[in-house]
Amino acid sequence: MTRAQSSIKLYLSTPHECPYLPDQEATTLIIDPTLTISDAIFTQLAQHGFRRSGDMIYRPHCSRCDACVSVRIPVEEFVPNRSQRRIWRRNRDIRIEEVGPDYRQEHFDLYMRYQRARHPGSTMCDPDPVKYHKFLSGESADTCFFEMRADEKLTAVAVADRFSDGMSAVYTFFDPDCSSRGLGVFAVLWQIEYTRQLGRPWLYLGYWIRDCQKMAYKTQFRPVEGYRDGDWNRLAD
């Protein structure tokens, strides 16, 4: 870390139930929430495995488990597999427009439809628009919302943070009636291409856990790197 980054105050959360692995206790390392984080520092934090949720910049820091691995894709080297190429072709009618991180009722309505279909009863399925917007946007981040439309109908929204060395995929939600399109995979494919066009090397995908099935899709994009023991290395197939 740089001298500026090493001087940032870090806080450790109280132990809590792991949201990904059963019967596991988790703790989280949190950047001082009172700090104003520059783009340069935010980029360095991402390079050291940190991620954003709302205004909280964090990294898992569990005493008995190191299953969470921050992963990123080197976009210039990425080669889609056969399934990903099919999904790309299946969605060639999608029109994509970047909009600012302001609250939009159309986005929130789609978000709630997605949560009720995919995560019913979870804390994510909260009909509070203020909590929704705080979760996706952040004052320290250069956040953009990518609207994906088919025949002018909003089909998906991909939320991402822009760093000086790439993009960080924050969250994607889509029309549950369009599951056959593979919109979650398509959103990652599109962000890979967008990052490549920006001339930036990395698309950060957040955390991957080998034994968590809902995270398995992240290592289907190859090559992929994981951050462990202070360094990035390629993950084996």
Quick check: 136 and 15 in contact, CB under 8 A? no
60 closest CA partner among 32, 31, 27: 27
Domain ranges of the chain: 3-70, 72-234
Give residue-wise pLDDT tens across range 125-160. 888 999 999 999 988 889 999 999 999 999 999 999
Give residue-wise pLDDT tens across range 14-40. 999 998 999 999 999 999 988 888 889
Report the pLDDT averaged over residues 164-186. Answer: 97
Q: What is the mean pLDDT of the chain?
A: 94
Task: List the beta bridge partners of residue 53.
Answer: 56
pLDDT band of residue 82 (cuts 50, 70, 90) is very high
CATH 3.40.630.30 describes domain 72-234: yes
Residue 1: pLDDT over 80: no
Structure tokens that stand for 30 in this block: 């949190």
Q: Would the pTM count as exceeding 0.85? A: yes
